[in-house]
Chain A
Amino acid sequence: MSMDIFLQNIANSITLGSLYALIAIGYTMVYGILRLINFAHADLLMVASYIAFYGILIFTLPWYIAFAIAIILTTLLGIGIEKAAYRPLRNAPRISVLISAIGVSFLLENIGIVAIGARPKSFPRPEELVWNIQLGNISFLSLTIIIPVVTLLLLVAVTLMVKKTKIGMAMRAVSRDFETSSLMAVNVNKVITATFAVGSGLAAIGGLMWSMQYPQVDPLMGVFPGLKCFIAAVMGGIGSIPGAMLGGFVLGFCEVMLVGFFPGVSGYRDAFAFVILILILLFRPGGILGENVVEKV
């Protein structure tokens, strides 16, 4: 591999890694509090992309307004999903909640197919955000810089929120011990709503970035990114925000480099993430930054 192609791959893996990281943060926050894989998280990506898609193409809104509407509506949808499908099952067995999450995810995907059609559509990239940058022999899109910067800013914002604000402290309390914190006058439902709001907002931003980087939208577009971002969250240590970030970058880097160095195995690219997941779960179930929790009676 020549130096240029190598650098090109580095650029690609940074972009992909930041996208994974951005979406993985939402997974890790929800899992940290509810111990639930929010399967619907992946589909929020798709919902946000479609809202922006229609906002720009049908209502001819400027891209920033369309993006803002998409983020707000997706956040509300995330909160609504939690209220309708997860809250009634708060005291039910974990398997029931998981089945409910799968049901919501399937519902969103199929409503997408019914309302929009299964055919992929091309996403209108805002010209103000996307241009070509030529640096020596490698050329890349401006998104290669914009996406990591946005991810880093959001990561800092979320970390500050969790560490410094009152609601962040409540989130940490609830994720440490659900029942005790409700005894300590923490309004658990409010905290969970806030968590879903932040997670869904991040998913929406991730979805918008995703569809600018890979400008195509279809109702099942969220499925694979969703699974991989969950894997990234597990890899970094589920429940830990820097862990999600690290996991996202490691996974993105490994995927791009695997295909870059061994083009013969590119057909197995999607299997690779699952292989990593299984290895991590077996040998270091707490993830890279997580702590191993011992099951108690």
Chain B
Amino acid sequence: MEKNKRTKNILTILTLIVVCGLLYWSENNLNNFYIRVLNLAAIFAILGLSMNLVLGFTGMFSLGHSGFMCVGAYTAAILTMSPASKELIYYMVPINPALAQIEWPIFPAIVAAGLMAALFGLLVGIPALRLRDDYLAIATLGFAEIIRIVVTNTTSITNGSLGLKNIPSINSIWLYWGAAILTLIILKRMINSSWGFAFRAIRDNEIAAEAMGVSIFKHKLISFTIGAFFAGIAGALMGFLITSVDPTMFRFLFTFQILLIVVLGGMGSLTGSVISAIVITIMMEVLRFVEQPISILGLNIPGLSGMRMVIFSVLLLMVILFYRQGLMGTKEFNWDWVLRKFNRIKAGRRGETA
């Protein structure tokens, strides 16, 4: 057992070194486009992880993720934009004087974005989490839509439907993947803590969990708020990656993509979410060709915009209808699993030679 633990620690450190090496290599050798796609994958990994905590581990069907992202993105953008560009952008209605001179560094702004989203999560969660299943889904969807409509209409703070531009641009792969890996580690530890056991007890049987003394509402609220926190962080990073935000970005479409990532990766598997976030983000870019005009054997096929989302909807339906556990089910990619496979292969070899 002791030996196993040491092996596992060594393997973990080795993996981290390999990942860092890969990141270092990509930073120096890949062109800007690929790095952008990788960074987007990291953001989707954070989103997938946070939705998986809420949906996969606690069993709450919340469709409010795009709303919390919206809160995070706007918080980080307003905190970090320079006063000069704020003056330039808020030309319809001048900015609220309390916000005009603020210019924070990146990291505190990201944390503030997370905290602001968590605050919203708490405020939304207190009424909404008394509901369950489809009522919860439609109520959280409603809250996300309300957040978006409020953002569109509070022009002196958010610049309304014009959106914000000139957000400081950050291309460093370390920020995005650092945040994703940190999210994975934090959530992994949380899942294995007493909170994590309570979450899963609630998911599997709410009434039994309550009978065992788990405080349902408290744990649901904790899970929901933490989910909102990470969604806010992902929103902030999204702002830094594409340097502009506007309310139409955070439509239901976003939540749909995150849902696809969680379902494909397996509801209840953190590593599954990371893997499927990478797969889906790369697919989204690779499949761009189906929306471009192409000519096959002299036959001109005009570009079909929206085709990618058709493919993704079909993918979601296929997974949910025929392969409901997704890529990983509720299993995790961890060293126990790898070592077991490894031992089995070794045992198999020995069996052959004997």
Give the contact stretch, choosing among B145-153, B178-186, B273-281: B145-153
Contact A277 B307 (CB under 8 A): no
Give chain B residues whose Cβ lies under 8 Å from the Cβ of A270: 145, 149
Give every chain B residue within 8 A of A85 (Cβ-Cβ).
317, 321
> Is there an interface contact between B135 and A268, defined as CB atoms closer than 8 Å?
no
Give the chain B neighbours of A35 by CB distance below 8 A: 134
Q: Does B143 contact A (CB under 8 A)?
A: yes
Chain A, interface residues (CB within 8 Å), range? 35 or more
Whether a CB of chain A sits under 8 angstroms from the CB of B104 is no
- Within the complex, the shortest CB–CB distance from A99 to chain B, in Å, comes to 5
Report the minimal beta-carbon distance from A196 to chain B, rounded to whole angstroms. Answer: 17
Q: Is A129 an interface residue when CB atoms closer than 8 A count as contact?
A: no
Contact between chains at A94 and B317 (CB < 8 Å):
no
Does A1 make an interface contact (CB < 8 A)?
no
User: Quick check: A111 and B310 within 8 Å, CB to CB?
Assistant: yes
B residues near A282, Cβ cutoff 8 Å: 127, 130
Q: Is the pair B153, A277 in contact by a Cβ cutoff of 8 Å?
A: no
Interface check B128, CB cutoff 8 A: yes
Are the CB atoms of A268 and B149 closer together than 8 Å? yes
| 8 Å CB contact of B149 from A106, A271, A281 | A271
Residues of B contacting A: mostly? helix
Tell yes or no: A98 within 8 A of B by CB.
Answer: yes
Contacting A at CB under 8 A, from B294-348, are 304-307, 309-310, 312-314, 316-317, 320-321, 324
Q: Is B259 an interface residue (CB 8 A)?
A: yes
A106-B135 contact given A268-B149, A278-B143, CB 8 Å threshold: no
A86 to B314, CA, bound (A): 14
| A103 sits at the interface (CB 8 A) | yes
Chain B residues, Cβ within 8 Å of A277: 138-139, 142
Chain B, Cβ-Cβ closest to A99: B320
Distance of A275 Cα from B320 Cα, bound (Å): 31
CB of A169 within 8 Å of the partner chain = no
Which of A100, A114, A268 contacts B321, CB < 8 Å? A100
| A100/B317 contact (C-beta < 8 A), A107-B310, A278-B127 known | yes
- Whether a CB of chain A sits under 8 angstroms from the CB of B263 is yes
Which one of B304, B306, B309, B321 lies within 8 Å of A89 (CB-CB)? Answer: B321
Indicate whether B20 reaches chain A with its CB closer than 8 angstroms: no
Residues of chain A within 8 A (CB-CB) of B312 are 106
**How many Å lie between the Cα of A110 and that of B304 in the bound state?**
10
Determine whether B103 belongs to the interface, using a CB cutoff of 8 Å to chain A: no
Q: Which residues of chain A have C-beta atoms less than 8 A from B55's C-beta?
A: 95
A223-B141 Cα distance, complex, nearest whole Å: 12
Determine the residue in chain A with the shortest Cβ distance to B312: A106
A169–B19 Cα gap in the complex (Å)? Answer: 63
Asked if B68 is an interface residue, CB under 8 A from chain A, the answer is no
Expressed in whole angstroms, the Cα–Cα distance for A118 and B253 within the complex equals 15
Q: A271-B150, A274-B142 are in contact. Are A114 and B256 (CB under 8 A)?
A: no
Chain A residues lying within 8 Å of B267, measured Cβ to Cβ, are: 95
Check if A260 is an interface residue, CB within 8 A of chain B.
Answer: no
Complex CA distance for A227 and B143, rounded to whole angstroms: 13
* Alpha-carbon distance A282/B139, docked complex (angstroms): 10
Is B153 within 8 A of A281, CB to CB?
Answer: no
CA distance A274 to B137 in the complex (A): 12
* Cβ < 8 Å to B, chain A residues 75-133: 85, 88-89, 92, 94-96, 98-100, 102-104, 106-107, 110-111, 113-114, 118
Nearest Cβ on chain B to A276's Cβ, whole angstroms: 9
Partner of A107, one of B127, B207, B314: B314
Chain A residues with CB below 8 A from B224, complex form = none
Closest B residue to A270 by beta carbon equals B149
List chain B residues, Cβ under 8 A from A96: 320, 324
> In the bound complex, what is the Cα–Cα distance between A88 and B59 (angstroms)?
21
Nearest B residue to A92 via CB reads B324
| Complex interface residues of chain B between 114 and 173 (CB less than 8 A to chain A) | 127-128, 130-131, 133-135, 137-139, 141-143, 145-146, 149-150, 152-153
Docked CA distance A118–B309 (Å): 13
| Residue A36 is within 8 A (CB to CB) of chain B in the complex | yes
How many Å lie between the Cα of A185 and that of B35 in the bound state? 61
Within 8 Å of chain A (Cβ to Cβ): is B61? yes
Q: How far is the CA of A14 from the CA of B240 in the complex (A)?
A: 47
Which residues does chain B contribute within 8 Å of A271, judged by CB atoms?
Answer: 145-146, 149-150
Q: How far is the CA of A282 from the CA of B207 in the complex (A)?
A: 20
A234 to B138, CA, bound (A): 11
Chain A: minimal CB distance from B339 (Å): 32
Q: Which residue of B lies closest to A267 (CB)?
A: B153
> For window 227-266 of chain B, which residues contact chain A by CB distance below 8 Å?
252, 256, 259, 263
A106-B256, A277-B139 known; A95+B133 contact, CB < 8 A: yes
The answer to whether the Cβ of A53 comes within 8 Å of any Cβ in the partner chain is no
Chain A residue contacts of B139, Cβ below 8 A: 277-278, 281
Q: With A106-B256, A271-B146 in contact, is A95–B127 under 8 Å at CB? A: no
B128 neighbours in A (Cβ, 8 Å):
278
- B135 and A102 form a contact (CB under 8 A): no
User: Which of A95, A275, A277, A297 is the most central at the interface, judged by chain B CB atoms within 10 Å of its CB?
Assistant: A95
Query: Which residue of chain B lies nearest to A276 when distances are taken between CB atoms in the complex?
Result: B142
Distance between Cα atoms of A111 and B143 in the complex (Å): 27
**How many angstroms between the C-alpha atoms of A107 and B137 in the bound complex?**
19
Which chain B positions have C-beta within 8 A of A104? Answer: 313, 317
Top 10 closest pairs, chain A to chain B, by CB: A274-B142, A113-B306, A107-B313, A110-B309, A103-B316, A106-B313, A271-B149, A103-B317, A267-B153, A110-B310
11 A-B interface contacts by CB (under 8 A): A95-B55, A99-B263, A106-B316, A107-B314, A113-B306, A114-B305, A227-B142, A230-B138, A271-B150, A278-B128, A278-B142
